[in-house]
Amino acid sequence: MEKATLDELKSAQEIVYRHLKPTPEITWPLLSARCGVEVWVKHENHTPIGAFKVRGGLTYLDYLSREQPDVKGIISATRGNHGQSLAFAAARYGISATILIPFGNNPEKNNAMRALGADLIEHGEDFQEAREHAEVLGQEKKLHMIGPFHPRLLQGVGTYALEFLTACPELDVVYVPIGQGSGICGMISARDALGLNTKIVGVVAENAASYALSFDQKKAVSTNSADTMADGLACRIPDENALAIILAGAEDVISVSEDEIMAAMRYYFVDTHNLAEGAAAAPLAGLLKEKDQRAGNKIGLVLSGGNVDKITFKNVMNGD
């Protein structure tokens, strides 16, 4: 699968902007002081679902409504933000949404998906098991299956990166979280489409390190588990198409610990008074890990979502 082109990203923007406004890019003095460099944050926690994924859902459902108008229902699997995105978009295009979630999923993300109109089904111990069951159910119920990585999702998600790099074209490095890969592939697409030299560093959790292992070994490497509190990073089987784009376009993929992620969540709240879920805090954790080698750089951080549940956030804040 190819990267998204500039024309594709701009076409996706036209679709996305029917439903939401561009999110802000803000430099926070306290955060920059903590990191020792000028830091710009892309606030994807300010979308209608509190996460960047909404852009991909809107673009995919627009495509589906035009190319396959007979489709009455979609099915997918999620840990939360992808499901909210599809439910949000499906409601606007008059299509039903069935979403598979693993047992023990974030209860507040579950409630949000239901409030958006999704029919939730619990299955499996992690995202991968839920995804595999979604494919089976989709065939049985004749529902249109949407995976976590697809050209239309990439084009939609990439609109956040086009906004960020257009507003801040002088960024030396951008740190991006990696779950299934649409976020970083969108950033690589926008960077290349705009002809910029910005380096892109992917960040994963040490406990869900499949993309970091795959980047190091230049081939897909799966893990047996993805047990991280950052549910948006909980991937144990990398997507081959996403990996190809990452290998060709990323500077590096680094891993951060659970403690480093939770510390970054606290720093975001203390320094900016923004909520960052675990996956969204990972880029800040990555920058702090590489702080010494980034002296003098202008850094971008993707705050990909703020949908952390109350109990987790309370525990994180009490950890300092």
8 Å CB contact between 204 and 211: yes
- The enclosing H or E element of 150 equals none
- Residues 231, 126: Cα–Cα separation, whole Å: 10
- Residues 304, 50: Cα–Cα separation, whole Å: 8
What pLDDT is recorded for position 1? 78
pLDDT of 319 over the 90 cut: no
Closest to 204 measured CA to CA, from 185, 223, 182, 232: 232
- Residues 239, 172: Cα–Cα separation, whole Å: 27
Residue in the block written with tokens 């008074």 = 273
pLDDT of 80 over the 90 cut: no
What pLDDT is recorded for position 217? 97
Binned at pLDDT 50, 70 and 90, residue 127 comes out as confident
- Residues 97, 71: Cα–Cα separation, whole Å: 11
Alpha-carbon distances of 105 from 47, 100, 113, rounded to whole Å: 22, 10, 12
Fold exhibited by the domain 6-52+151-317: Rossmann fold (3.40.50)
8 Å CB contact between 304 and 279: yes
The two domains 6-52+151-317 and 54-145 share their CATH topology (first three levels equal): yes
Domain boundaries, the chain: 6-52+151-317, 54-145
Mean pLDDT, all residues of the chain: 96
Instruction: Give the CA diameter of the chain.
Output: 56
- Residues 140, 68: Cα–Cα separation, whole Å: 19
Alpha-carbon distances of 34 from 203, 297, 298, rounded to whole Å: 19, 14, 14
pLDDT in tens, 260-278: 999 999 999 999 999 999 9
Residue in the block written with tokens 């086009």 = 162
Q: Where are the beta strands (DSSP E) in 102-210?
A: 119-122, 144-145, 173-177, 199-205
What pLDDT is recorded for position 320? 57
pLDDT of 7 over the 80 cut: yes
pLDDT of 132 over the 70 cut: yes
Say which DSSP state 290 is in. Answer: T
Q: Which residues pair with 200 in a beta bridge?
A: 174
pLDDT in tens, 215-259: 999 999 999 888 899 989 988 999 999 999 999 999 999 999 999
Instruction: Return the axis-axis angle of helices 54-67 and 81-92, rounded to nearest 10°.
Output: 40
- Residues 180, 158: Cα–Cα separation, whole Å: 14
The model's pTM: 0.95
- Residues 308, 320: Cα–Cα separation, whole Å: 17
Fold exhibited by the domain 54-145: Rossmann fold (3.40.50)
- Residues 157, 146: Cα–Cα separation, whole Å: 15
